[in-house]
Structure 1
Amino acid sequence: MEFMTLMDKIREQFGVSFPFEISPGETWNRNGDKSILQVFDVETGETKVLKEFDCVIEAPNWSADGTFLTYNSNGRIFKYTIASGEVSEIESYFVDNCNNDHVLDPDGSGVYVSHHTKEDGLSRIYKIYFDGRLPRLVTPLAPSYLHGVTPDGKTLAYCAERNGSYDIYTIPATGGNETRLTTAFGLNDGPEYNCNGEYIWFNSERSGRMQAFCMKADGSEQMQMTFDSHWNTWFPHVSPDRQKVVMVAYTETDVRPGEHVPNKFVELRLMRRVAHENEDARENAVENWSTPQTIFKLFGGQGTINVNSWAPDSRRFAFVSYIHGDNPSNQTPR
């Protein structure tokens, strides 16, 4: 991994690209992109379009009561009411440069967000409130990218860069000292608690390719859960009933292991729990899970499913696909 990282830096320094690579400017140019907010039913395989947007929206969260979704767009956080289709902006005052790493507070009072602050442009975690209160800072240190919250709402899990290394940290939701959970070489990202708070699912490139991992909430027993030969797997999201995990995967020739960029054809892949009650109950036991299977192909990547978007019924999840520029054919998977 150290050698591969060194070679990537040398290639970047001298402008050497692989044939499959395109310029960052082209990859990240999202001007004119349209977004399609959808729901996937894992039992029927059917998708339902909720709404189409003439702008980029990202990373839907599903509320615990199942009545609404939240998402980010143009730096703000919005609420989509499922029954009516109504869209409303959540008041966040100066927290106006949010990225796609945000999680609903389990108590229903608001949303924890990752906001690029004006003083240095780096991401810090804040809480914004549904009742209009002023936002509250949680992580003074930056950059910090939120991904998980314990079921009791007392602890947050996030990816943070400290001293040149991207690792997984936790912090009390009220603020305080952070705790580092990973030390493996390379990017460790996307930490997310399961519904009882005992385990954290995350993704890491420590094996040379981005893959899904699972560990105890204290950082112990870190186990690799996917071993995909041809995909870089990002953002494993465990369902509320702990029986399914959905993730987004890039093909090996489209991105480097540490990249999760937009404007790519990606796959949504699903793992199911196969262990019975009387078998090993450890969630991070690989033998207790099926191998990932592709359930949907789409044009997307960054913003498609960055944070947990499972419905409370553990049967459906929300995601976003995109149409790049003025070319509607980009919506059709290869």
Structure 2
Amino acid sequence: MSSAPQLASGQRSQVFIGGPAQAQPTVLFETDELQIEAPNWSLDGKTLYVNGNGLLWALDVSTPESGLRHIPYDGLPELNNDHVLDPDGEHIFLSGNDGHIYRAALSGGAVERVSPDDGMWHFLHGVSPDGKRLAYVELKDFSNPGRLAVLPLTGGPVSRPDTGTGHIDGPEWSPDGEWIYFNTEGFTSAPGHAQLARIHDTSGEVERLVTSETVDWFPHLSADNQSAAYISFPPGTLGHPPNLDVEVIVVSSRDWTTPLQRYRLFGGQGTINVNSWSPDSTRFAFVAYPIAHDGE
């Protein structure tokens, strides 16, 4: 039996499209048959890639009514929602529920494990713009905080930049490769109080992006480096759980303190775990999980 997230009775997955100039997001696709998560937008702008029921699926942006198309892989373990496109536009990196990261063609077929057999869990979030390194969260076990790890795909040891003592998640490079953006619990002693930050890829300088009362996760920059989106959980939230009233917030990358758009929805885990910006940087995708009440 799959351990992947499942929809509750009366619940559905809704893929929304929003952007810096879009006050109200629009529904691209919805289903009550599958809990789909974490859209990636293809580099040609034609397809969204999502996970659901431990598998990878493709959704045509121009004809979403055609539904989800399963992408079959050989020997790939059940997937979670940490998957990121290879900059070559033809491959994808996938995190399996066995704790390893795999590289595969977007067309399906054989897969290659790329994470080391080091006894750690590896949760992928970022690929460097040149496609030569992966940024992931490294965990010995789930009682310890996650750490930033950077894996050179061409060989060599894993590096572990110092982001402080707090749990981190969501590390991904800026499009220019200068910074790695992430969320961290290291700025406060309040349990679970994640805030947004970035670390310089060469100097190791850490910079806090926002100071807020909310619990903020998964900063994602647009391809032109001008806009960003992230998810905001209610104060006191521990981790990034599902099924909460949350906000997806859009900002200018030059001013993270002033929201351009705020999208309120019922979601959380799965809504925007990975970068989902369109290649032209005008819009991005995210997922809500509304539950119908009796009589609706």
- TM-score, L = length of structure 2: 0.88
The equivalent residue for 1:271 is 251
Identity of aligned residues (%): 35
- Listed one character per residue, the Cα deviations across residues 296-320 of structure 1 (whole Å, up to 9, x for unaligned) are 1000000000000011121201000
Q: Match for 2:242: what amino acid?
A: P
Residue 93, structure 1, aligned to residue 74, structure 2: yes
Residues in 2 aligned to 1:227 and 1:291: alpha-carbon distance in whole angstroms: 8
Closer/same/farther in 2, CA of residues 166 and 310 from structure 1, 3 Å limit: same
Summarize the alignment of residues 137-152 of structure 1 with structure 2, pairs less than 5 Å apart: 137-139=113-115, 140-141=117-118, 142-152=120-130
Give the C-alpha shift of residue 270 in structure 1: 2.3
Residues in 2 aligned to 1:95 and 1:72: alpha-carbon distance in whole angstroms: 13
Summarize the alignment of residues 147-296 of structure 1 with structure 2, pairs less than 5 Å apart: 147-162=125-140, 164-174=144-154, 176-208=156-188, 209-218=193-202, 220-228=204-212, 230-253=213-236, 255-256=237-238, 259-274=239-254, 289-293=255-259, 295-296=262-263
- Listed one character per residue, the Cα deviations across residues 86-112 of structure 1 (whole Å, up to 9, x for unaligned) are 421122222141111100111122210
Residues in 1 aligned to 2:77 and 2:295: alpha-carbon distance in whole angstroms: 33
Residues in 2 aligned to 1:101 and 1:60: alpha-carbon distance in whole angstroms: 10
Q: Match for 1:227: what amino acid?
A: T
The equivalent residue for 2:27 is 49
The equivalent residue for 1:75 is 54
Q: Which ranges of 4 or more aligned residues in structure 1 deviate by more than 4 Å?
A: none
Give the C-alpha shift of residue 328 in structure 1: 7.8
Closer/same/farther in 2, CA of residues 30 and 82 from structure 1, 3 Å limit: closer
Summarize the alignment of residues 107-122 of structure 1 with structure 2, pairs less than 5 Å apart: 107-117=88-98
- Listed one character per residue, the Cα deviations across residues 239-264 of structure 1 (whole Å, up to 9, x for unaligned) are 111111110001104x12xx100000
Structure with the larger strand share? 2
Match of 1:299, SS state, is strand
Q: Match for 2:205: what amino acid?
A: E
Closer/same/farther in 2, CA of residues 70 and 131 from structure 1, 3 Å limit: closer
- Listed one character per residue, the Cα deviations across residues 4-30 of structure 1 (whole Å, up to 9, x for unaligned) are xxxxxxxxxxxxxxxxxxxxxxxx874
Stretches of structure 1 lacking an aligned partner (at least 5 in a row): 1-27, 118-122, 275-288
Structure whose CA Rg is larger: 1
